[in-house]
A and B are shown apart, each in its own frame.
Chain A
Amino acid sequence: MSEKISKADRLINRRIKKSRVGKRVTVKKAAECFFTYLGLIVLAFIFLFPVLWLVLAAFSESGSMYTFKGFFPSAYSFETFKNLFTDTKMYDYPRWFGNTMLVATCSAILGSLLVILTAYVVSRFRFPARKGIMKATMVLGMFPSFMAMTAVYLLMTQFDLINNLAGLVLIYAAGAPMGYLTQKGFFDTISNSMYEAARIDGANNLKVFIKITLPIAMPMIIYTLLTSFTWPWSDFILPKLLLKNRDMYTVAVGLMSLGDTEFARFAAGSVFIAVPIIILYFALTKYMVNGLTAGAVKE
């Protein structure tokens, strides 16, 4: 019996033997290890260096870029950060920061609510206009995003919302439902039986949405909140178009108005606005990956 080992079994045996021997470090393996780590170090450097450079610049003593020795400031101090918040005559950074915070928070909450509602309803209910809505959003999505800018600007002058943060919030929140596909993809994966059970227990649809859908969709809600927060947080086109007063600027528009001689101020301002987002991203990387993949696998 034992002589009659099939070809596949023999191959497997060879592999097992090999894997026992394979603990030994061969030249090939060492080289592979070396190149892998070399690649990783190079990548880490490429992605870290520009960020590091900005952080260093934020701590430079002189504001202008012309005093730098290549990438490195000639002297370091905390002065720039202090200036950023105290010397607000020309560049009122605290004000800009407050504006950005307000706009981003409000539009994240409003926009997420609208997106989640739209995605849930389109995914869960079958109603006459459903197909039409889906097709229409697909067609609308093909128009370049700021084709509408001119018209939005005219509309805003008509509604008297130029130089008004509420106008910005309105545009961001109203545009949010257009990107409901990722969220719909998520809701499509949840089976209907859970809803049905609750319905049989006598819960109405509003209750089902609040008590069942929202808790299940928590990861997706976090993803939605995050993305709809970062969009206004770093958008520059709309604020630049709609906000004319320096007092009303968001950080993005404000930082854009800084030149070479205010480089340190730019760097400090950037670091300060990037840090909260970076912390959020690292805390929520898992949700980001899930959200990105939900949009990918489901059409």
Chain B
Amino acid sequence: MENTIVEDTSYHGKKPIGKRLATYFRNIPHRFCAFFKRLGGKFAAIPKRIARRAEYVRKAPKAVKASMCLPGLGQIMQKQIVKGIIFLLLFAAYVVYMVLLGGKAMYNFFSLGVIPPNPWLGIKGDNSVMMMLLGILAFIITGFYLAVHFANIRDAKRTHDYVARGNKTPNFIQSLGSMFDKYFYVTALVLPIVGVFVFNILPIIFMIFLAFTDYGGNIVSTGALVSLIGFDNFAMLFSMGGLLGSTFIKILGWNILWAVMSTFLNYFGGLGIALLLNKKIVKGKKIWRAFPVLAYAVPGFITLLAFKFMFSNLGPINYYIELFGGTGKMFFGIDSKWSARLIGWLVNAWLSVPSSMLLATGILANLNPDLYEAAKIDGASAWKQFIKITLPFVIFATTPVLIGQFMGNFNNFGVFFFLRGGIYVDGYFLASDTDLLINWLYNLSIDNNYYSLGAAISIIIFVIASVISIIVYVKSPSYSKEDMYR
């Protein structure tokens, strides 16, 4: 029963999203089984693979064996001196690194430091966090070295085979040439991959580990040793009773509301403006379009700061309110929950509508005008044309972007950081009632040193993002096959 893929055949064409999601989740057990079966197969194949590797090593020519033991040696034996020396130098660099720093870093990664700080005796103690970071770095460097080592073996073998076929040994210039031709993809990807590993993957792995430690609060200021505490951070966030748990629930609720509302306003606002500009009676389209583009071009932080000044206590808005006999308001004060939220919503629209307008303009330009002609002949009203032709087409073409916009709004840091940053409201743990998860994350980790809690929140945001991406993924097969608008 569990091993059959459930398929629903009662629909022709596109099934509703709910059905497709249901099918997806119903098939999870099956996919789970398939995954483990494949994994089992892989494990079962291990002895065979080991045997094959052993065979490879045994049958390898002398030069290749030399390269396995000492990188570059095989190349030198095959009269490729320069290349061999380069491999040798890489190996030497790695050995020096491991002896001087790497080995210790790896050891420290597991111990997380043993000497606690003691200010009375002037002992600084071990910096656990740094040890963790450098330990991960050491593992990544080892991974890179292993890649070089295997490349070296493969290279020695390739040269050997090449010569065995009766060719002359390629000289260094020729090898360099093949680096930019046959192995262009390797050469081109080295820099991006190293960069991404050091500045994206390393930090993310580090933060994942950090989420399971107690690094935060007092430990940061005293420099005490950090220890692993398992899922305690997550338990704190999900505990209903405590201040932390209630803050989390409140912020999550507001964050989802915010993302839905903002995406809705930005998307349909942009579409509306694009349709308005697309009307036949509008003359001077370029001039009208210039205004939103102007708003789009002004850097976001300038706009946000300007709006903050505009709504500040002695700013122009309050000036006019008082001029007409009202009393000035604190738009971003401690207890201005909904006015701050509303202003943030509108300001965000001001920032994001232009880009979605440009996007909608580009999409509408691809829309086949014959469809409208046909609709007109059939006597469809303008509203019906919009509902039946324009809207489905635009939504169809922009679904991935829509999801991107949703995630962008979900993680929209700037708006409330600038408009209402640094305010902590009662009933919230180091956050205000306008803060989104990402703002809370910033407050906790950058401003208040609660690093491990911040890391735990990051992981929760990641989980939310991946669930949404799964939904898109489920949607995409039908999406990629459709060509009814072409």
Footprint of B on A, CB under 8 Å?
A: 8, 11-12, 15, 32-33, 36-37, 39-40, 43-44, 46-48, 50-51, 53-54, 65-66, 68-71, 114, 117-118, 120-121, 125, 127, 133, 137-140, 142-152, 154-155, 158, 170-171, 173-175, 177-178, 204-206, 209, 230, 233-234, 236-237, 241, 252, 255-256, 260, 263, 266-267, 270, 273-274, 277-278, 280-282, 285, 288-290, 292-293, 295-297, 299
Contacts and interface: CB of A to CB of B under 8 A. Distances in A.
Interface string B341-382: 000000000100011001101110010000000001100000
A140 B294 CA distance: 33
Contact of A158 (B130, B200, B320): B130
B445 A150 contact: yes
A148 B203 contact: yes
Contact of A205 (B181, B301, B323): B181
Counting chain B CB atoms within 10 Å of each CB, the highest count among A40, A138, A289 belongs to A40
Interface size class of B (residues with CB under 8 A): 35 or more
B185 to A, nearest CB: 4
B196 A40 contact: no
Given A70-B323, A175-B199, A51 B397 contact: no
A204 B181 contact: yes
B293 interface: yes
Contacts of A204: 177, 180-181, 184
A178 B312 CA distance: 38
B303 A50 contact: yes
10 contacts: A43-B273, A53-B306, A70-B320, A144-B458, A148-B199, A234-B300, A260-B314, A270-B302, A274-B298, A299-B479
Given A47-B354, A53-B316, 4 more contacts: A144-B411, A150-B445, A175-B196, A256-B301
Given A44-B291, A206-B181, A278-B294, A263 B301 contact: no
Interface stretch (B47-55, B114-122, B152-160, B275-283): B275-283
B291 A48 contact: yes
A293 B361 CA distance: 9
Contact of A118 (B189, B296, B400): B189
B181 A114 contact: no
A281 B297 contact: yes
B362 A289 contact: yes
Contacts of A177: 192, 195-196
A278 B314 contact: no
Given A51-B298, A178-B196, A155 B310 contact: no
Contacts of A51: 294-295, 298
Given A150-B454, A260-B309, A299-B480, A140 B469 contact: no
A128 B441 CA distance: 38
Nearest to A204: B181
B12 to A, nearest CB: 24
Chain B interface, >50% SS class: helix
B315 interface: yes
B413 interface: yes
B458 A147 contact: yes
A53 B316 CA distance: 10
A263 B294 contact: no
- Chain A contact residues: helix, strand, loop or mixed: helix
Contact of B281 (A32, A54, A270): A32
Contacts of A50: 295, 303, 306-307, 310, 350
Contacts of B195: 114, 173-175, 177
A152 B445 CA distance: 13
B288 A11 contact: no
Interface of B: 129-130, 133-134, 177, 180-182, 184-186, 188-189, 191-193, 195-196, 198-204, 206-207, 210, 273, 276-277, 279, 281-282, 288-303, 305-307, 309-310, 312, 314-316, 319-320, 323, 350, 354-355, 358-359, 361-363, 366, 376-377, 397-398, 400-401, 411, 413, 438, 441-442, 445-446, 451, 454-455, 458, 461-462, 465-466, 469, 476, 479-480
Contact of A255 (B202, B305, B445, B476): B305
Nearest to A233: B299
Contacts of B181: 204-206
A43 B292 contact: yes
Contacts of B312: 65, 260
Contact of B301 (A173, A236, A281, A299): A236
Nearest to A234: B299
A266 B279 CA distance: 39
Most A-side CB within 10 Å, residue of B184, B302, B350, B446 = B302
A295 B201 CA distance: 24
Contacts of B305: 255-256, 266, 270
Nearest to B468: A142
